[in-house]
Amino acid sequence: MTCTPWAYAPAAIPRKAKTSPARKTIEHSRSFHRLVTWRTGSEGRISYLKDCFGLDQSQVRLYTAIARHTVLVMAALAACAVTAALLATAPTPRHRHPPGPVCAPPATRA
C-alpha cells in the first residue's frame, strides 16, 4: 500500500443507547468539538505514519521489537540521507567518449 493520506474511508460506530441531556450539553460544547477534531487528526497522522513505516502490517506487541524496527528504519533513512548529500556535493565526472561506436555495427546483407 502506498503512503497516501485518506487511503481509508471514514467509519463511525453508532451508539446503542440514548444520550442523557447532560451528555448532550457536553457533546455540543465548543471545547468538546475541538478535542474531537484534535484527536481525529492525531489518530489519522499516527495511522498514516504507521502505514509509511510498515508498522500497520506488523503484529509486534513488545517494546524491544518496536524499538528494533524503529532503529533499523532510522538507520536506513540516515544512510539514504548521507548518500544523497554525498551525491549532491560530488563533482560531475567528465568522461571522454570513445572515438568510435561502442558496439560493432550490424552486418548488412548484400
Give the model's pLDDT for residue 10.
Answer: 65
- Full-model pTM: 0.38
∠ CA 72-74-80, nearest 5°, is 105
pLDDT in tens, 24-80: 899 899 999 999 888 888 888 888 887 877 766 666 678 888 888 888 888 999 999
Domain segments of the chain as ranges: 1-7+22-57, 61-89
Q: Residue 106's pLDDT is what?
A: 65
pLDDT at 67: 85
